[in-house]
Structure 1
Amino acid sequence: MNILLIFLAVSWQVVSSNHLFQTKYIDTPLDHFTLNTNNTFKLRYLVYGQFHVKGGPIFIYTGNEGDIMMFAQNTDFIFDIAPIFNALIVFAEHRYYGESLPYGNQTFSRPENLVYLTTAQALADYVYLIEELRRNFFSTMISKDTYPFVAFGGSYGGMLAAWLRMKYPNSVLGAIASSAPIWFFQDLTPCELFYDTITRVFAHFGTDHCNKTIKATWDVIRNVTKTKQGKLYLSSLWKICNNLQTAADVDKLIDWLSNIYVNLAMVNYPYPTNFLTALPAYPVKIFCDKLNSFKIENHGTLLEALGAALEVYTNYTGNTKCNNINVTSEDLGEYAWDYQACTELVMPMCSTENDMFETVPWDFKKYSEDCFKKFNVNGSSPYWPALQYGGKNLRYFSNIVFSNGLMDPWSCGGVLQNVSSSVWSVNITDGAHHIDLRGSHPADTNYVTEARKFHISAIKKWLNMN
């Protein structure tokens, strides 16, 4: 059945400085692969046309696990280069995130509603949007080649950009996949490398003393929270919104704290940002300086020192009233992402005595049990993503640039060497998480500047502009 396509220009919004997007919605099939339902939902996308000239390419950002506005606000590289190519800019939101909720307010009311949350369905959404843009937005087109699409994405969005080019090469001419850990799966990447990289980042920017202090805190937290009084003490000390009451609450606190360290390393940019949260330049250094400068013997306990340092992440603006340990970034869809991590994107991680985290081995059986408790589903086969998208056998694909900041923990699951004459790797020695997709900044190092130049050269080659 042909589905009536509706484009609704409902608003104009400033997404980045001086960038006024048109917000649109497209009626998209809920299930692209069966005939069981004709149901649709409204997929949100953003359009910016100031630099576009008839016949120019379309730069499409494949949305991540969160509100598309957040990624549009932090991907100024696309705006920086669009005038070079006379390009139209489109940011497409990922289903089940932001406003693109298939069941509206009931989307997360029960696990059964999440069944259509898969990478295959998300990629099909992007293909569907691309084809309908060609047919409707560019009504005067002569052929598909008249308006070529180039995909961009960072992190999970980078994985999707690469997979879109790999699986649907007729839809996009090429892909810039930044910080895309497409090899972060079973037997492709050792489970300990992720936390090893974060430990290296904290040692580089904050000295080994910072790492050792963090390592010592895990036992202290566990010991203090063994009693009811201890739980109440730590809840008050760290201004936790809902007091710790159970062992499960303590485990949640440990996960929250670990995720903060992950996020600090990921967005350890050389200038202030407001991506996952408001942060200063080099937040890892600021965090470690604050932790190391706290005179524990004179001014209190190790937990007081850590609580003060945590405010670099939790309360940099001074506006946070209390800390919600259920989330580490308000604009990320952490519940939906947890579902994806259970049902498809199982990424093995483990911490050891050699890193700064609490020692936790990778246990797929326990992982599956936790998934079942939360979503009533067993953990997916950890081998499925590699089977679905080719694993490390990328030599048959083309026109993909994989870029990675080597100070980004996700780089350990990325493509760090050239695969072929048209599948390239660009490594940014001092780079954090998809820093090359951020806009040009005076604090940029030569490494990130050169990476962006490579991206421009690759796109020119794909468009036969060289």
Structure 2
Amino acid sequence: MVALLTRVGFSYETSLIGFVMCILSGFRLYLMVLFSRCFSHSCQVQMLVIILFVIVIILFAFFLKLSQIDHFGFLEDGTFKQRYLLSDKYWQQPGGPILFYTGNEGDITWFCNNTGFMWEIAEELGAMLVFAEHRYYGESLPFGQDSYSDSKHLNYLTSEQALADFAVLIQNLKGTLPGAQHSPVIAVGGSYGGMLSAWFRMKYPHVVVGALASSAPIWQFPGMVPCGDFYKTVTQDFAKSGINCDANIRKSWKAVNNVSSSASGLQWLSEEFSLCAPLKNKNDVLTFKSWLQETWVNLAMVDYPYEANFLQPLPRWPIQVVCKYLSFDSTVSDYQLLQGVAQAAKVYYNYTGSSPCLNTSQTATSSLGYLGWFYQACTEMVMPMCTDGVQDMFEPEEWNFQAFSDECKAMFGIRPRADWAGTVYGGKEISSHSNIIFSNGGLDPWSSGGVTSNISHSLVSIMIPDGAHHLDLRYSNDLDPPSVRAARALEVKYFQEWIKKAKKTHRAAPTG
């Protein structure tokens, strides 16, 4: 049985369709095989009836469960409806393990759809799958439409509150689902969700027996890693993907400045890049350059070995494709160089050819909650980054905490606490914890803030040299490099060890 349990006030049709898409993605290969063998009209009609029947089953598997708005105070006793998705198709009762996805900064159905690893190992482990949505994202809004109205309503958007949501949810599942009382729970997450999975194990070791933290930059905080390492990794990805690729991107910033110095140049840039809104002034040019910078960063994150549609629809090894447009020698003119940059950018934004124009206000899927993440960055997720234009391919920009703090004050009326995450979660002093896998891809710029070497026998690092952002959590693919195949096999091995030990501990516990 596949069920959707939900604790969120939501648009019913949108949520249902999103989850159905997630479930169908989990069984996409099975459906493709069936349809490939189904040629007659009557056969296809029967298949559609079966799918509709599954949807009806899901329709009647909705549940509601309330969560505290504030887990750590007693004055605010309000509750909200938080959404989570659950599949027990392969769960072996009683006591079968639970793989619990710690939701990121976005719609949980999107992460469910992009975490094929959990779907693929569920049968092998006899596991239940749970995907929990992070408060303030997707449809889990503590104050409904007022959740983002002001900082007073945003005050409860913290990682600590989110972890408490997850802990309470697991306790509720164990208390209400027959056969789940003694089920060992393993947290799984990628990126910010990976940070949460690691911190979940650290803060609630009695709730989860272990955690897989994929591409989790838990050390990307003040004083823990050099602020320039992130952009160095991005540059290295481009440098090894094509001749002169990084050098020409480095030169492109000056070319943009030169060309944009005249009204005709602004018009030319707008037309060459097929921008939805034409560039009109210096502020527009600054936004344009920031948009380009984030484009190169995102490409480094999603440099997957096969066609994918994570942040955008992209070809396999997209940076190699991009770099084909940036192989100029040193004699290239500003206009020629920027023509190449425009073609390179369109690989990211218009690979399918379906976009009539490029929007500089959006660089990735709308499934991510940017405003919520900006607020978190302005409170506890303070991640210093800087560039020097020499060891990286970007314009020089120092990390200026005061300027960042002033920007947060202007936007939200609050100031960040630079060292709070290190204080709450221990920074680099985490050796007393256990049973956490930190997996990182060598192509992923976020690996610069991740745990990339073993800390102890049970705080282990798995490096994937040919891997981009949480590649190990994605569906397996025939084009996967051997390093990610080996990583997934090792992760399952650790899962099995944790499950075995947890069950042994339970059997040995006194019953009187």
- Alignment TM-score, normalising by the size of structure 2: 0.84
Seen in structure 2, the aligned counterparts of structure 1 residues 334 and 129 have a Cα distance that, compared at 3 Å, is same
Q: Does 1:359 align with 2:368?
A: no
User: Hey, what's the Cα distance between the residues in 2 that align with 1:106 and 1:237?
Assistant: 40
Using the TM superposition, give the Cα deviation of residue 450 of structure 1 relative to its aligned residue in structure 2, in angstroms.
1.1
User: 1:33 matched to which residue of 2?
Assistant: 72
1: CA distance, partners of 2:435 / 2:446 = 22
Query: How far apart, in 2, do the equivalents of 1:405 and 1:175 lie?
Result: 17
Residue in structure 2 matched with residue 120 of structure 1 by the alignment: 160
Q: Is the 8 A contact 2:259 2:335 kept in 1?
A: no
Q: What is the rounded CA distance, in whole Å, between the counterparts of 1:25 and 1:333 in structure 2?
A: 23
Aligned equivalents of 2:329, 2:344: Cα separation in 1: 9
8 Å Cα contact 1:294/1:305 also seen in 2: no
What is the distance in 2 between the residues matched to 1:310 and 1:411? 24
The answer (yes or no) to whether the contact 1:407–1:432 under 8 Å persists in 2 is yes
Deviations 1:13-52 (A, max 9, x none): 1312416876665322111111122222221111122111
Which one of the candidate residues 409, 414, 418 is aligned to 1:372?
409
In structure 1, C-alpha distance between the alignment counterparts of 2:404 and 2:6, rounded to whole Å: 41
Aligned match of 1:267: 302
Report the AA paired with residue 354 of structure 1. Q
Q: Secondary structure at the match of 2:340?
A: helix
Give the letter aligned to residue 371 of structure 2.
Answer: Y
Please report how far the alpha carbon of residue 248 of structure 1 lies from its aligned counterpart in structure 2 after TM superposition.
2.9
Q: CA deviation at 1:251?
A: 2.1
Quote the Cα distance in structure 2 between the aligned partners of 1:351 and 1:166: 32
The letter of the residue matching 2:91 is H
Cα distance change, pair 23–163 in 1 and its aligned pair in 2 (3 A) = farther
Q: Quote the Cα distance in structure 2 between the aligned partners of 1:25 and 1:311.
A: 43
Q: 1:240 to 1:70 in 2, by over 3 A?
A: same
Map residues 284-323 of structure 1 onto 2, 5 A cutoff. Answer: 284-292=319-327, 301-323=336-358
Alignment CA distance shift 1:309-1:113 (3 Å):
same
* 1:361 Cα offset (Å): 0.9
Encode CA deviations 1:376-418: one digit per residue, 9 max, x unaligned: 222x232211111011111110110011111110111111111
State the partner residue of 1:240.
275
| CA distance in structure 1 between the partners assigned to 2:64 and 2:138 by the alignment | 12
Residue 437 in 1 paired to residue 476 in 2? Answer: no
Is contact 1:407–1:429 with CA below 8 Å preserved after alignment?
yes
C-alpha contact (below 8 Å) 1:203/1:211 kept by paired residues: yes
1:48 aligns with 2:96: no
Say whether the 8 Å CA contact 1:256–1:326 is kept in structure 2: yes
Change (3 A) 1:295 1:42: farther
What secondary structure, in the 3-state scheme, does the structure 1 residue paired with 2:322 have? Answer: helix
Aligned residues of 2:255 and 2:334 also touching (Cα < 8 A): no
TM-score, normalised to structure 1, is 0.92
- Confirm whether residue 90 of structure 1 aligns to residue 130 of structure 2: yes
SS of the aligned residue for 2:463 comes to: strand
Which residue of 381, 386, 392 corresponds with 1:345? 381
User: Mind listing any 5+ residue stretches in structure 1 that lack a counterpart?
Assistant: none
**Distance (whole Å) between structure 1 residues aligned to residue 118 and residue 73 of structure 2:** 35
2:378 counterpart SS class: helix
SS in 2 for 1:150: strand
Structure 2 counterparts to residues 244-255 of structure 1, below 5 A: 244-255=279-290
Is the 8 Å Cα contact of residues 92 and 126 (structure 2) preserved in structure 1?
yes
Residue identity opposite 1:424 in structure 2 = V
Give the Cα separation in 2 of the matches to 1:24 and 1:268.
38
Cα offsets for 1:409-456 (capped at 9, x unmatched) = 011111111111211111111211111111211111221111111111
CA contact (8 A) 1:23 1:44 kept: no
Q: Any conservation in 1 of the 2:209–2:435 contact (CA below 8 Å)? A: yes
Counting only pairs closer than 5 Å after superposition, residues 323-342 of structure 1 correspond to structure 2 as 323-329=358-364, 330-342=366-378
CA contact (8 A) 2:381 2:421 kept: yes
Superposition RMSD in Å? 2.4
Residue equivalent to 2:38: none
**For 1:149 and 1:47, how far apart are their aligned partners in 2?**
14
**Using the alignment, how far apart are the partners of 1:460 and 1:249 within structure 2?**
53
Residues 96, 150 of structure 1: alpha-carbon distance in 2 compared, 3 angstrom cutoff: same
- Give, in angstroms, the shift of residue 108 of structure 1: 2.5
The yes-or-no answer on 1:188 pairing with 2:224 is yes
1:101-136 per-position Cα deviation (integer Å, ceiling 9, x unaligned): 223233323333211111111111111111111112
Distance 1:243-1:250 versus aligned 2 partners, 3 A rule: same
Q: Check whether the contact 2:70–2:156 (CA below 8 A) recurs between aligned residues.
A: yes
> Which one of 220, 223, 226 corresponds to residue 255 of structure 2?
220
Cα contact 1:406–1:429 (8 A) shared by 2: yes
SS in 2 for 1:332: coil
Q: Which residue of 2 aligns with 1:66?
A: 106
Give the aligned partner of residue 148 of structure 1: 184
Q: Tell me how far 1:249 sits from its aligned partner.
A: 2.6
- What is the identity, as a one-letter code, of the residue corresponding to 2:166? Y
Which position in structure 1 is the counterpart of 2:46?
Answer: none
Partner Cα distance (2:242, 2:280) in 1:
33
Look up the SS of the partner of 1:175 in the other structure.
strand
Distance 1:92 1:25, change over 3 A: farther
Task: Look up the SS of the partner of 1:56 in the other structure.
Answer: coil
State whether residues 104 and 134 of structure 2, in contact with CA within 8 Å, keep that contact through their aligned partners in structure 1. yes
**Cα shift readout 1:251-284 (whole Å, capped 9, x = no counterpart):** 2222211111111001101000011111110011
Q: Call closer, same or farther: CA 1:182–1:24 in 2, change over 3 Å.
A: farther
2:344 maps to a residue whose letter is A
Q: Distance in 2 between matches of 1:33 and 1:417?
A: 34
1:269-306 C-alpha deviation (Å, 9 max, x unpaired): 10000111111100110111133379996995322221
In structure 2, how many angstroms separate the alpha carbons of the residues matched to 1:99 and 1:229? Answer: 45
**Inter-partner Cα distance in structure 2 for 1:275 and 1:24:** 29
| CA 1:299–1:341: 2 relative to 1, 3 Å | closer
- The match for 1:18 is 27
- Give ranges in structure 2 of 5+ residues lacking alignment: 29-53, 505-512
- SS of 1:46's equivalent in the other structure is strand
1:164-183 matches, cutoff 5 A: 164-183=200-219
Structure 1 residues 62-92: Cα deviation after superposition (integer angstroms, max 9, x where no partner): 0111111221111111111111111011111
Q: Identity across aligned pairs (percent)?
A: 43
* CA deviation after TM superposition for structure 1 residue 461, in Å: 0.8
Q: Which amino acid aligns with 1:59?
A: L
Equivalent residue for 2:452?
416
- CA distance in 2 between counterparts of 1:224 and 1:108 reads 39
- Cα-to-partner distance string for 1:175-201 (whole Å, 9 max, x where unaligned): 011110001111110001000011001
